[in-house]
Amino acid sequence: MKKNLLVAQSGGPTAAINATLAGIIEAAVQAECIDTVYGAFNGIKGILEERFINLSKTINDADKLDMLSRTPAAALGSCRFKLNDIEKDDSQYKQIIEIFNKHNIGYFIYIGGNDSMDTVLKISEYCKKCSIDDIKVMGAPKTIDNDLCGIDHCPGFGSAAKYIATVFSELERESVVYDAKNVIVVEMMGRHAGWLTAAAALSQNVNGKVPYLIYLEERVFDIDRFIEDVKEKLETNTAVMVAVSEGVHDADGRFICEQGQGEVEKDVFGHSKLTGTGKILEEAIRAKIGCKVRSIELNLLQRCAAHVMSKTDIEESKNLGAFAVQYATEGVSGKMSSLVRKSSNPYEVEYTSVDISQVANHEKKVPTDWINEAGNGVNEKMLEYLKPLVQGELSSVYVDGVPQYVVLK
Amino acid sequence: MKKNLLVAQSGGPTAAINATLAGIIEAAVQAECIDTVYGAFNGIKGILEERFINLSKTINDADKLDMLSRTPAAALGSCRFKLNDIEKDDSQYKQIIEIFNKHNIGYFIYIGGNDSMDTVLKISEYCKKCSIDDIKVMGAPKTIDNDLCGIDHCPGFGSAAKYIATVFSELERESVVYDAKNVIVVEMMGRHAGWLTAAAALSQNVNGKVPYLIYLEERVFDIDRFIEDVKEKLETNTAVMVAVSEGVHDADGRFICEQGQGEVEKDVFGHSKLTGTGKILEEAIRAKIGCKVRSIELNLLQRCAAHVMSKTDIEESKNLGAFAVQYATEGVSGKMSSLVRKSSNPYEVEYTSVDISQVANHEKKVPTDWINEAGNGVNEKMLEYLKPLVQGELSSVYVDGVPQYVVLK
């Protein structure tokens, strides 16, 4: 008997999460054992509220699939919702399975990051515990933070990295326009891993000779040392580009941005909402060096920049969606579709799956030996890793001069 | 006898100023009366210091011209330099003419905004006063602010407007991802005119139904009224997009951003350096409405976004450079190349020239009747004006996944 497939999206938006959705729809429509493809709005929250959309009907041709794969954010909406501990209260799980049965869902795919994989882990564990065998639960990865374990790199990261490298290359050209000594500080997202910030290195010395200083969360940040770094570079250069992670912290683990705003806000998963690091460094440079300085917080812009996406990233994102469907229809459950890098040059990846327990609630940090000794830059190992991920250009579909997207909600 | 042409760039960088430079080089190389094309670094400052580059040699093929026209910022560098009052002290002018004569300069083209046209005006007046007839002085327009008089719209504005519309369309998709009520405030540049902020309207309701509130400098900004506007929109919508000019001010002319930082800094032309308006509105929304709110300052990103340029803008920017050369070789001096809009639909422009005195030190504001009565949006007249300017897509040249530019200094 044919079963239906349900897909939902969770966690922070990216430029590529809808490409994974498109990959899932395309593969599911072609799968013989799948009848209808449903989407749930706002992740697990929308499932509990039975807010579904028939995607087989809505995204019913190649043009719509293509436009969906080039639409930023999360077309089905997202949530930050933590399921209860199964041991303490399994009522949510009972409800989810009831809803799945009611809609004849045999395949459930959840697209998200490490918090979302917690949801996949819990539902698949509940199914196992209750010997529910006819619902296959799969994760499909995404996060611009690139901090998922069990995968070489995350869908969405390549596009965000390309955006960051592009923005740095443009700002660098700005920095040398006037003769005056100046510093441009750019703050990147990334709660506890510095992958996004490292992407600035992709543009370093591609155009001109402006020095870059790159500070990741993986190293202790010392503000006095930072000022010395900037001073030293300014001695022999007109401009300095600074890339800094929002989550840099001092030796006591205190976030630099906390110096500006007191205690930082936390979300339901206990993650700190970090912002303002760049501004604090700007003020420190102004006070202690006195040169012209600007700080720019890339903020939401870096995670939804569908106008400058990595073609490699979008293709891989689609494939990871399609592979999640394939694994599920082959009977796999409790896993996440993944990719392994076989070679960087020539770039070659192999698709696979990993146990969800390897991914859920874990974080992958930048390896210490990819950061230079001074802690203010990255080395060739990082560049070798990053370069293949930003290859090829893809952008949203422009109609009448403005991007047009698939709007589902 | 053949004469040489000297070109320089001045004022704030844009994504299109190098397209104008490319147009000048291309036309000058083809002009029979012109021998060598020289560029001066850092505008009038570099002329006084005789820092020249031979552009005929450096940009010597079609590929380099194309890459130059897609390079952001200002390839020759820029300056913010005000020439002395001729009546009080003409030593700078004597020096400039001596340098021109020494290098056999018969044609001088200065690319810039209204402050830079002050330089063109003064040099051409000095030439007239001293009966110097063999040096033709022309201005070529640029400014993302779009506040130049004597021209329908400014080179660089169309690309910045397209970038802003694109960013708004992406952020709008972000704003509806979660179910929670939220506001995204985006702060745009524009010292005393709200053209850039108005460009947000290009994306309004292209994708979905998120309401926009758009506040330009041309209207008095009342923060209580603003909070009421946001509250009203939030009653029936999940998200609200706010576009605000950095220069909005209250009824007493006090900048909103001054409330955050005390007195604002001023540059050599007496223009205030405005920044932080979005942050102040974010804090006001958090304090008075209490919903989720983010503010994003587009900062330098909006004026150098060569990765998403308007094809129309880049073509016009090149043409305005080429026409400046043509007029100069025809004997015109003391004018700026310009364009007149013949029709918006179908879009048609005619190239012409205007007296530099009509442009220098003047500012063109958004017509009052293009703003809605409530002062929180723009109307169809504004959209009719904007739409043709963002048609067509063009981006930097990407090599190995990262933009590559022409670097002259």
Mutual angle of helices B62-69 and B17-30, in 10-degree steps: 150
**CA–CA distance, A331 with A127 (Å, rounded to integer):** 13
Per-residue tokens: A225:
């040392």
SS3 B32: coil
CB contact under 8 A, A79 and B179: yes
User: What is the reported pLDDT for A238?
Assistant: 96
Angle at CA A165, nearest 5°, toward A168 and A306?
A: 110
Query: In this structure, how many other beta carbons lie within 10 angstroms of the beta carbon of residue A355?
Result: 14
Report which of B351, B375, B320 is spatially closest to residue B109, judged by C-alpha positions.
Answer: B320
A343, B96, B328 from B6: Cα distances, Å = 51, 12, 12
Instruction: Tell me the pLDDT tens digit for each residue of A14-60.
Output: 999 999 999 999 999 999 999 999 999 999 999 999 999 999 999 99
User: What is the reported pLDDT for A261?
Assistant: 52
Instruction: Give me the residue from A294, A301, A390 closest to B401, CB to CB.
Output: A390
Instruction: Tell me the pLDDT tens digit for each residue of A208-240.
Output: 999 999 999 999 999 999 999 999 999 999 999
Cis peptide preceding A346, ω within 30 of 0: yes
Partnered with residue B244 across adjacent β-strands are: B187, B215
Catalytic residues of B: 145
Cis peptide preceding B346, ω within 30 of 0: yes
User: What is the reported pLDDT for B265?
Assistant: 59
Instruction: Tell me the pLDDT tens digit for each residue of A232-278.
Output: 999 999 999 999 999 999 999 999 988 755 555 555 556 666 678 99
CB contact under 8 A, B402 and A203: yes
User: What is the reported pLDDT for A263?
Assistant: 53
CB contact under 8 A, A174 and B306: no
CA distance, residue B301 to nearest chain A CA (Å): 7
CB contact under 8 A, B173 and A13: yes
Ranges of H-type helices in A76-113: 91-102
CA distance, residue B113 to nearest chain A CA (Å): 15
User: What is the reported pLDDT for A59?
Assistant: 97
Instruction: Give me the residue from A45, A390, A398 closest to B393, CB to CB.
Output: A398
Partnered with residue B185 across adjacent β-strands are: B242, B295
Tens digit of each residue's pLDDT, chain B (409 residues) = 899 999 999 999 999 999 999 999 999 999 999 999 999 999 999 999 999 999 999 999 999 999 999 999 999 999 988 999 999 999 999 999 999 999 999 999 999 998 899 999 999 999 999 999 999 999 999 999 999 999 999 999 999 999 999 999 999 999 999 999 999 999 999 878 999 999 999 999 999 999 999 999 999 999 999 999 999 999 999 999 999 999 999 999 999 988 765 555 555 556 656 668 999 999 999 999 999 999 999 999 999 999 999 999 999 999 999 999 999 999 999 999 999 999 999 999 999 999 999 998 899 999 999 999 999 999 999 999 999 999 999 999 999 999 999 999 8
A8, A140, A195, A198, A315 from A148: Cα distances, Å = 19, 11, 11, 16, 19
Span A76-103, mean pLDDT?
96
Instruction: Give me the residue from A45, A162, A301 closest to B401, CB to CB.
Output: A162
User: What is the reported pLDDT for B258?
Assistant: 82
Q: What is the ipTM of this complex?
A: 0.96
Could you give the strand order of the β-sheet that contains A182-188, starting from the edge strand earlier in sequence?
Answer: A212-215, A239-245, A182-188, A292-297
Residue-by-residue DSSP string for B193-227: --HHHHGGGGGTTTSS---EEEE-TTS---HHHHH
Mutual angle of helices A62-69 and A17-30, in 10-degree steps: 150
User: At residue A92, does pLDDT exceed 60?
Assistant: yes
CB contact under 8 A, B402 and A165: yes
pTM for the full predicted model: 0.96
User: What is the reported pLDDT for B190?
Assistant: 82
Mean pLDDT over each residue of chain A, to the nearest integer: 95
Partnered with residue B53 across adjacent β-strands are: B39
Q: Which residues contact B295 (CB under 8 A, 6 or more apart)?
A: B184, B185, B186, B187, B278, B279, B281, B282
Residue with tokens 């990595």: A310
* Cβ contacts of A297 on chain B, cutoff 8 Å: 296-297
User: What is the reported pLDDT for A270?
Assistant: 61
CB B117 within 8 A of CB B337: no
Query: In this structure, how many other beta carbons lie within 10 angstroms of the beta carbon of residue A246?
Result: 26
CB contact under 8 A, A73 and B404: no
Span A377-403, mean pLDDT?
98
Tally the residues of chain A. Answer: 409
User: What is the reported pLDDT for A257?
Assistant: 86
CB A254 within 8 A of CB A196: no
Establish whether A252 is a catalytic residue. Answer: no
**CA–CA distance, B233 with A83 (Å, rounded to integer):** 32
Strands B397-399 and B402-404: antiparallel
Strands B309-310 and B393-394: antiparallel
CA distance, residue B242 to nearest chain A CA (Å): 15
A265 contacts chain B (CB < 8 A): no
Q: How many CA atoms lie within 13 A of A335 on its CB side?
A: 22
